Amino acid sequence: MINLASRDILHSWGKFVFTGAGLGLLIGVTLTMAGVYRGMVDDARAMIDNAGADLWVVQQDTLGPYAEPSSIHDDVARDLLGQAGVLAVGNVAYLTMQIQQQGGKDVRVMLVGIEQGLPGEPAYLVAGRPITHTHYEALADIKTGLTLGERIQIRRHAYTVVGITQRMVSSSGDPMVFVPLKDAQEVQFLKDNDALLNERARTALNPAFNRVPGLLDTVLAGQASSHMVNAVLVRIKAGHDVQEVASQIRRWKHLQAYSREQMEEILVAKLIATSAKQIFMFLVILSIVSAAIVAFIIYTMTMNKIREIAVLKLVGAGNQTISGMILQQALGLGLIGFVVGKTAATLWAPLFPKYVLLIPGDAIRGFILVMLMCSLASIFAIRAALKIDPATAIGG
Amino acid sequence: MRVPAIHIENLTKRYGEGNTAVDALKGVDMTIWPGEVVGLVGPSGSGKSTLLKCLGAVIEPTSGKMQLGGETIFEGAWKIDDLRTLRRDRIGFVFQAPYLIPFLDVTDNIALLPMLAGVSNTQARTRARELLEALDVGHRARAQVSELSGGEQQRVSIARALANHPPIILADEPTAPLDSERALTVMRILNQMAQQYQTAIIVVTHDEKIIPIFKRIYHIRDGRTYEEAGEGRDA
């Protein structure tokens, strides 16, 4: 038996391909939206993996350091190191800010203060070397566009990029720049010169600090330095239970400790949950729009063939033959659309400023959804075609 | 005993109900024998198309008897699928416009019908090519429909009507869009096919130039038929 659908497609392939391409771009946008969501989740997971920690110790009653502000003293790390089961600890400070490249171009980054050789330091570099100096050296993610040896201005000081990392981004997709912890603390907690002068003058005028000799100097010295960090990253010794260590920290140190799974839950289920819902809504709307467009196209194509369908019915073609032709055309359109959409999404995904992760599973789900959508969309056209009276061919 | 290809008695067809009812056929009688080419002539609105639709098993008559090849149609439990099979296997259609399927080539336009009847693709295409040769359009076998002239398209549509070797062909003004020469050629072909395959052919027409060709003519007026012997000269 002749495949009527394929013959019709071949006969008017130009119209079919252009229609499929238009639909494909819409499918491409849908796949990209799914990729944006996957990218957000992957960014969050990458950030957790790259931290190289088993536990995140943060301020009590907070979801810090990524989802809520958290501030703890940096000497907490020393206490934690004495805790049973703790292998290594590293203080980290996080700050999202704009930094200036040499050419004056601004880059939005997450500035991370790390301690050399301790948890929090990037696990690998794609170029350059780790930070070896105690001040003014930086490691930058490749997405910042910074290059080795480039000088960047962060607040009052210039830093030299000595190493390049990859896939080191915040949960909101901002690339990370790593600097020594002390530098990050200064950037994060210290004020500009004018503010410092103003603060000192205010403190000096306070009679309470002038009653005891030397008290004012001590207070002023305290204002000029910071020993706070956002979190302490803890690595657990092999054979020790993470939850047990976390429970001990929570109980005795009056701090909050999150395991890797809990941190992932906070990032994926809480921090990016609203964005995910937003993207899901877009996906739903795009799917409905795509289905409506397919239905309209297939319906129009079928209605343009009323006379041919009437003749086919008159000469004895069964409902199955007519329905099969329309369904196969709808599926053909969906197939062309999917191929175009997948290709388009793959081509334009790297151009997006944030990470777009296109995974084969989503592509397979997308393909099934498109085919299902096309099948459902063809129902209207099939219904209309089956209602065509074969007598239409005779006229009169 | 010789069985007529078409035999109808007192056939009526009413559209609508009550005050708006229209009697398109008011008691038509007709008998056509295998191998005959009969004209059905009448003005617009006389009931020609309704009669053709009844004969083509497309619409059900309101009352009367209709036999095709001795089998009574629409009596008892005739299902839609039975009528579809009847149309496919026992009735060929030729329309005023050829109504060929534009996305199939000439051969497949004809071969489609045997294929629908379950004939293999190879056999169906062989049969199609034989018919095209018989109708002098064998050289256009692989052509697209849009590449054919009006006359060629009409010949292909006749070949399509003959594809399943039906005992009956219903031709609805097949010469209307053609000039005299081509119209006479089409009629010659229909006569030839009727002789060759013993097919009963009803040609609905009000084309004056072909009316003298018929040996028998049924005039239809106000839903009733009147038989007349034609001149019956060859085309």
| Same-domain status, A147 and A242 | yes
pTM attached to this predicted model? 0.76
Name the burial class of residue B1, with classes exposed (0-12), middle (13-18) and buried (19+) by CB atoms within 10 angstroms of its CB.
exposed
Who wins on pLDDT, B75 or A292? A292
* pLDDT surpasses 80 at B169: yes
Q: How far is the CA of B96 from the CAs of A338, B103, B132, B157, B159, in angstroms?
A: 42, 20, 19, 10, 15
CA distance B112 to chain A (A): 7
Distance CA A329, CA A301 (A): 9
Tell the residue number behind the tokens 């009316």, with chain if given: B211
Q: Does A384 touch chain B (CB under 8 A)?
A: no
Q: Does A321 touch chain B (CB under 8 A)?
A: yes
Closest to A385 (Cα-Cα) out of A315, A335, A316, A327: A327
Residue at A200 is within a domain: no
Distance CA B35, CA A386 (A): 35
In this prediction, residues A187-212 reach a mean pLDDT of 81
Q: Does B56 touch chain A (CB under 8 A)?
A: yes
pLDDT at A189: 67
Closest to A161 (Cα-Cα) out of A184, A129, A134: A129
| Same-domain status, A119 and A157 | yes
In this prediction, residues A192-219 reach a mean pLDDT of 83
Residue at A266 is within a domain: no
CA angle A222, A77, A90 (to 5 degrees): 105
Please check whether residue A140 is in contact with residue A146, taking contact to mean a CB–CB distance below 8 angstroms. Answer: yes
CA distance B200 to chain A (A): 17
| Same-domain status, A285 and A352 | yes
CA distance B126 to chain A (A): 14
CA distance A377 to chain B (A): 23
pLDDT at A395: 66
| Same-domain status, A68 and A181 | yes
Q: Does A312 touch chain B (CB under 8 A)?
A: yes
Q: Which residues numbered 114-153 in B keep a CB inside 8 Å of some CB on A? A: 115-117, 121
Half-sphere exposure of B160 (CA within 13 A, CB side): 33
* pLDDT surpasses 70 at B235: no
Residue type, A327: L
* pLDDT surpasses 60 at A342: yes
- Rounded to 5 degrees, what are φ and ψ at A225? -140, 155
In this prediction, residues A129-153 reach a mean pLDDT of 92
Residue type, A332: G
In this prediction, residues A125-137 reach a mean pLDDT of 93
Number of folded domains that form chain A = 2
Q: For A272-285, how does the pLDDT look when each residue is reduced to its tens digit (9 = 90+)? A: 888 888 888 988 88
| Same-domain status, A31 and A94 | no
Identify the residue among A6, A311, A394 best suited for mutation to test binding to B, counting B beta carbons within 10 A and taking the highest: A394
- Rounded to 5 degrees, what are φ and ψ at B60? -95, 130
Contact B87 A11 (CB under 8 A): no
Q: How far is the CA of B66 from the CAs of A165, B12, B27, B82, B209, in angstroms?
A: 88, 10, 12, 15, 31
Distance CA A176, CA A107 (A): 11
Predicted complex ipTM: 0.83
Name the burial class of residue A132, with classes exposed (0-12), middle (13-18) and buried (19+) by CB atoms within 10 angstroms of its CB.
exposed
Contact A391 B172 (CB under 8 A): no
| Same-domain status, A21 and A109 | no
Please check whether residue A185 is in contact with residue A95, taking contact to mean a CB–CB distance below 8 angstroms. Answer: no
**What is the DSSP track for A252-298?**
HS--EEEEHHHHHHIIIIIITHHHHHHHHHHHHHHHHHHHHHHHHHH
pLDDT at A65: 87
In this prediction, residues B124-147 reach a mean pLDDT of 91
Chain A residue with Cα closest to B92:
A315
Q: For A61-107, how does the pLDDT look when each residue is reduced to its tens digit (9 = 90+)? A: 998 788 888 989 989 999 898 888 999 999 999 989 988 877 778 88
| Same-domain status, A159 and A80 | yes
Contact A316 B111 (CB under 8 A): no
CA distance A297 to chain B (A): 18
Contact B84 A316 (CB under 8 A): yes
Identify the residue among B101, B172, B203, B206 best suited for mutation to test binding to A, counting A beta carbons within 10 A and taking the highest: B101
In this prediction, residues B120-147 reach a mean pLDDT of 91
Residue at A349 is within a domain: yes
| Contacts B87 to A, Cβ<8 Å | 314-316, 390
Contact A308 B87 (CB under 8 A): no
CA distance B49 to chain A (A): 5
**Which of B52, B81, B117 is facing A394, going by the closest CB pair?**
B52
**A and B: number of Cβ contacts within 8 A:** 82
Question: Average pLDDT of chain A?
Answer: 88
- Rounded to 5 degrees, what are φ and ψ at A184? -65, -40
Q: Does B38 touch chain A (CB under 8 A)?
A: no
Identify the residue among A15, A311, A315, A388 best suited for mutation to test binding to B, counting B beta carbons within 10 A and taking the highest: A315
| Same-domain status, A117 and A244 | yes
Question: Average pLDDT of chain B?
Answer: 87
Residue at A375 is within a domain: yes
Q: Which two tokens stand for residue A186?
A: 């200064």
| Same-domain status, A122 and A232 | yes
Share of chain A above pLDDT 70, in %: 98
**Which of B49, B59, B116 is facing A316, going by the closest CB pair?**
B116
In this prediction, residues B49-60 reach a mean pLDDT of 89
Q: Does A306 touch chain B (CB under 8 A)?
A: no
pLDDT at A241: 93
Q: For B7-54, how does the pLDDT look when each residue is reduced to its tens digit (9 = 90+)? A: 999 999 999 888 888 999 998 999 999 999 999 998 888 888 889 889
Contact B172 A394 (CB under 8 A): yes
| Contacts B206 to A, Cβ<8 Å | none
| Contacts B52 to A, Cβ<8 Å | 394, 396
In this prediction, residues A162-170 reach a mean pLDDT of 91
Please check whether residue B40 is in contact with residue B205, taking contact to mean a CB–CB distance below 8 angstroms. Answer: yes
Residue at A185 is within a domain: yes
**Which of A7, A307, A314 is facing B87, going by the closest CB pair?**
A314
In this prediction, residues B196-224 reach a mean pLDDT of 87
| Same-domain status, A16 and A79 | no
| Same-domain status, A100 and A233 | yes
Residue at A243 is within a domain: yes
Domain encompassing residue A37:
4-43+274-393
Tell the residue number behind the tokens 């006569």, with chain if given: B191
Q: Does B111 touch chain A (CB under 8 A)?
A: yes
pLDDT at B233: 54
In this prediction, residues A156-162 reach a mean pLDDT of 91
Q: For A351-390, how does the pLDDT look when each residue is reduced to its tens digit (9 = 90+)? A: 998 889 999 999 999 999 889 988 988 898 999 999 998 8
Q: For B94-113, how does the pLDDT look when each residue is reduced to its tens digit (9 = 90+)? A: 888 888 999 999 999 999 99
Domains of chain B: 6-229 (3.40.50.300)
In this prediction, residues B222-235 reach a mean pLDDT of 73
| Same-domain status, A132 and A238 | yes
Please check whether residue A242 is in contact with residue A54, taking contact to mean a CB–CB distance below 8 angstroms. Answer: yes
